[in-house]
């Protein structure tokens, strides 16, 4: 199986770009959430912390991502 995660620079920004594309395409919030979690796993993101409304993911390249569920949002953490 091909693992693209090792070929992607700034994994958090890449996931954010995928998220933004799906928002623009009109995906529902539940579909956005499911697809984003799958995309994070695809590039090797690991859940670092979670609250009721937010999850923080860390990637091997040192980048970080925050996903909030209500309202759905995705943001790269510097």
Instruction: Give me the residue spans of the domains in the chain.
Output: 9-77
Let me know the angle formed at the C-alpha of 64 by 26 and 9, rounded to the nearest 5 degrees. Answer: 85
Provide the β-strand partners of residue 75: 66
* pTM over 0.85, yes/no: yes
Q: Among the residues of the chain, which ranges form H helices?
A: 11-24, 29-42
Nearest Cα neighbor of 47 from 36, 39, 58 is 58
List, for residues 23-61, the tens digit of each pLDDT value: 999 999 999 999 999 999 999 999 999 999 999 999 999
Note the pLDDT of residue 75. Answer: 96
Share of the chain residues as helix, strand and coil, in percent rounded to the nearest 5 = 40, 30, 30
Note the pLDDT of residue 1. Answer: 45
- Between 64 and 1, whose confidence is greater? 64
User: Does residue 2 surpass a pLDDT of 80?
Assistant: no
């Amino acid at each position: 199986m091909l693992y693209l995660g090792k070929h992607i620079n700034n994994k958090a920004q890449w996931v954010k770009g995928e998220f933004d594309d799906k928002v623009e395409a009109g995906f529902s919030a539940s579909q956005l959430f499911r697809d984003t979690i799958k995309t994070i796993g695809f590039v090797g993101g690991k859940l670092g912390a979670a609250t009721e409304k937010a999850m923080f993911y860390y990637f091997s390249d040192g980048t970080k991502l925050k996903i909030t569920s209500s309202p759905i949002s995705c943001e790269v953490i510097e």
